[in-house]
Structure 1
């Protein structure tokens, strides 16, 4: 049996089919400097399956050797006022609950260091992050005393430095061997009582909302609450809190070291399997709906949100996406670049004044109010529709 046919969390086999999507960008958030490069960006297949025992889902067609993060990778969300407020509240809460004032914190997969800066502002003494995508990049978030980014992939032997807590946000979904990472971290903690905080996209919400645009190649794993609880307990962590946040779209886990429970299975897995079984059919119907809507549009359309949801949506439309002329985003680091696959340019909101679209598609309902307000403030009156959420 292939490695991809055995669950990476609990080793159960065989998995059950959930959903398939072809010709998707390998790295959805890798933006390109010109249209030709963007349209010829590497593409792959998604074959989403679910473990019948623990409800972990993964892309059976995932090939880690194809994952090469390069300049142009950009997935920061903190240009949105709503996300900024969420992140600030999260940083404040973690420092308070974990009693981190004056202490040392490690973040695995820190991106540009935004969270490191936020927790340092709350009184953390040192905040050290690891992220290979920051090689050769400058960021304003390391200017605060005590904040450092190591531009490398995290390895457990880097935990030879003092640390009082470990944060890891939106990394587990990229790993094809998540249990190995958790076990390595647990060994490094040893017999100390060091809290950990992990955050991942909430696959439970994805299934219930039929947000097929959250199924992207660069995410190997899709975490539901039962699956991530099983992972943590098997690796030797006791979850003290497993909650959904940020409009239910994130799954947030706080945990403490505990004896490993190598045979643990969460009883909530059965309900997730039932929801997953219906997801594929609903997702196909959703895609057909949007293809019909765009095919019948007389005029121009834009997608607001040049992140994974918006880019996945644009690529899935195929020839029906002809009315699309651009993707809009607040993130200034994306402006002037081109999204992979469909080759649409990313433009700032001010560009809508000249584009004058007939349809604005909002890629994430969380931002509907702020986007609608901006569009109307420009004196524009296009149809506005929400793609996901």
Structure 2
């Protein structure tokens, strides 16, 4: 336990080779270490009731290692003992109109593409169940959602009586739940034994060759090229690019039928079908290992300058007495504040999710406020953790009469 995160971060000038770590994606022994952040909260989205509880929250270390055999990136210091997802894990995004439009478009596209009507669907890592319920509403489907943080009845839906929620981690014991379609959104990046996980999914399907699977995860290519340090945090132990994701699925007995990006190119989507014989069919989106090495080198070489620029900005704004708030209290916010070690430069954090209001951010200790708080506070700057929400946030600020500068991270 600690009283305040004390963060040291660095991009290694020269990539350091470590023979002590095995790639969980392809089992290759030996990874190249290229970025580290020390002493960061082991969870970003657990809602804590008091500031002291938040400040005393346990921390761990991040050290990213790159596998030059399959292109996978992982936190070699990740400890699965901290994987304590529970009902107070609050990652629901469906309070945003921008996100809801994306989810609705995605659900409709999947329903049309795979004729998901009057079918049995399974979602692994369903969070609070928003997307599964949406699929079942739109296609008159039945569903099973598996997630340790799910809260039955939290999301109101006309399809609620056709959906079963299981509050548990997905494992071999859930292999009976296959149905006609399997989806898994923003879960694989939280899984350390990635090969074992996807193999479990493949074994559950067995010889039913017509069962499509759909996975959605953050795209690490963008993280590396944009030096998006805010997307590197402890819960995310696994980082995929199109190439490493496709190679994983092929090695586990799938043929990749589609591979693409969406949501401002932040999300990476893969669609696949089970096959009996190994597939060597590659997708045009897959990068080469040489391209991946170049992206890793670019990140490692330039990330220090980006971090220093943001530190200087925050210090300057504080010296000028400006009121600066962060909009978005999730993982990006936690990574932003702790990686920069400038928690004292931001006084308030804003979020539209009402289930977060009045709670405190792990390791940071800031209380999460509702947008209405800004009517009185009138900040000089609002730092937006995800630029895709800038228009939505700008509209809300205008409607509240808040005149401020919106600064996308």
Query: Under a length normalisation based on structure 1, what TM-score does the superposition of the two structures give?
Result: 0.94
Shift of 1:100: 1.5
* Partner secondary structure for residue 48 of structure 1: strand
Q: What is the deviation of 1:326? A: 1.1
Provide the alpha-carbon RMSD of the alignment.
Answer: 2.1
1:284 aligns with 2:307: no
Instruction: Measure the CA separation in 2 of the matches of 1:263 and 1:62.
Output: 31
Quick check: 1:98 aligned with 2:114? Answer: yes
- Per the alignment, in what secondary structure is the counterpart of residue 149 of structure 2? helix
State whether structure 2 residue 361 is matched by structure 1 residue 339.
Answer: yes
Q: Distance in 2 between matches of 1:112 and 1:84?
A: 14
Aligned equivalents of 2:244 and 2:324: distance in 1?
38
Q: Distance in 2 between matches of 1:76 and 1:314?
A: 21
Task: Look up the match of 2:211.
Answer: 194
Which string of whole-angstrom CA distances, capped at 9 and with x for unpartnered residues, describes residues 341-361 of structure 1?
121111111100122212210
Q: Distance in 2 between matches of 1:78 and 1:164?
A: 25
Q: 1:145 to 1:3 in 2, by over 3 A?
A: farther
- C-alpha deviation, 1:178, in angstroms: 1.2
Report the CA distance shift for 1:260/1:307 in structure 2 as closer, same or farther (over 3 A): farther
Question: 2:327 maps to what in 1?
Answer: 304
Contact 1:361 1:385 in 2 (8 A): yes
Matches of 2:266 and 2:332, distance apart in 1 = 12
> CA deviation digits over 1:123-154, x for unaligned, max 9?
24311100111268744248633112111111
2: distance between equivalents of 1:288 and 1:146? 52
1:235: which partner in 2? 252
Structure 1 residue aligned with 2:351: 329
Question: Equivalent residues in 2 for 1:1-389 (5 A)?
Answer: 5-134=21-150, 138-141=154-157, 144-161=160-177, 163-192=179-208, 193-259=210-276, 261=278, 268-297=288-317, 298-318=321-341, 320-387=342-409
Aligned length: 386
Structure 1, gaps ≥5 residues long = none
Closer/same/farther in 2, CA of residues 126 and 137 from structure 1, 3 Å limit: closer
Q: Secondary structure at the match of 1:23?
A: strand
Q: Structure 2 unaligned runs (5+)?
A: 1-16
Q: Secondary structure at the match of 1:334?
A: coil
Give the 3 Å change call, closer, same or farther, for CA 165–341 of structure 1 in structure 2.
same
Q: Deviations over 1:1-49 (max 9, x none)?
A: 9997111111223211221111211011112111000011111110011
Question: Residues 304 and 362 of structure 1 are in contact (CA less than 8 Å); yes or no, is this contact kept in structure 2?
Answer: yes
**1:105–1:124 Cα contact (<8 Å) kept:** no
Whether the 8 Å contact between 2:178 and 2:205 is mirrored in structure 1 is: no
Deviation at 1:119, TM superposition (A): 0.3
Moved more, 264-273 or 97-106: 264-273
Distance 1:53 1:121, change over 3 A: same
- In structure 1, the residue matched to 2:12 is none
Asked whether the 8 Å contact 2:63–2:76 carries over to 1, the reply is yes
Partner SS for 2:160: coil
SS in 2 for 1:360: strand
Stretch deviating more after TM superposition (375-384 or 76-85): 375-384
1:164-190: CA deviations, max 9, x gaps?
010111111111111112112212212
SS of the counterpart of 1:327?
strand
Is contact 2:18–2:30 with CA below 8 Å preserved after alignment? Answer: no
Corresponding residue SS for 2:30? coil
1:38–1:97 Cα change, 3 Å: same
Contact 1:5 1:60 in 2 (8 A): yes
| 1:372 shift after superposition | 1.6
TM score, norm. by length of structure 2? 0.89
How far does the alpha carbon of each residue in 1:20-79 deviate from its partner, in whole angstroms, 9 at most, with x for none?
A: 111211011112111000011111110011111111100011000122224431111111
